[in-house]
Homo-oligomer: A and B are copies of this chain.
């Protein structure tokens, strides 16, 4: 059993004043065939700024909740979306706005400009859209679904 695996970028998130898009590297462009028939993608990206030994060794944090400054309990990183984790992989589900050549214009991402993308998958309701979810009280405001 190998104890370490290698990941390569297949593209990058890009942002300017007007737009947010994914720029797929030329050598992976053919992996986009038929993408225009989908509305939403799951993106996996490398949290470049947290790829260091210290951040990767943190296993408990107080998670942030976007709306409000309420205190949250100390939590294992595996039940937070903290960028600090053993493998700094981010996950964002994005809506496709338009596709032009190797550019996928999207609604938003929480990743910074020039963040490396390591995988893109189609969003499939039958496996990915869970209707009956339980969350702890401090995450209650995150139970609302995305109707967009």
User: A residues bordering B, Cβ < 8 Å?
Assistant: 1-10, 24, 28, 30-35, 37-42, 44, 46, 51, 59-60, 73-81, 85-87, 89, 91-93, 95, 116, 118-136, 139, 141-148
- New contact pairs (17) apart from A125-B133, A125-B146, CB-CB < 8 Å: A6-B6, A7-B89, A31-B60, A33-B79, A34-B136, A35-B79, A38-B135, A40-B134, A41-B78, A80-B121, A81-B124, A81-B127, A86-B119, A122-B135, A123-B133, A126-B141, A126-B144
A interface: dominant SS: mixed
For A38, what are the chain B residues with a Cβ–Cβ distance below 8 Å?
79, 134-136
For A124, what are the chain B residues with a Cβ–Cβ distance below 8 Å?
81, 135, 139, 142
From known contacts A81-B122, A119-B87, A124-B142, infer whether A74 and B130 are also in contact, taking CB-CB under 8 Å: no
For A85, what are the chain B residues with a Cβ–Cβ distance below 8 Å?
31, 119
From known contacts A39-B134, A76-B30, A119-B85, infer whether A5 and B6 are also in contact, taking CB-CB under 8 Å: yes
Assess the A127–B139 pair: CB atoms within 8 A. no
From A35, A37, A39, A116, residue with most partner B Cβ within 10 Å? A37
From known contacts A87-B8, A148-B132, infer whether A93 and B127 are also in contact, taking CB-CB under 8 Å: yes
Q: How far is the CA of A46 from the CA of B8 in the complex (A)?
A: 14
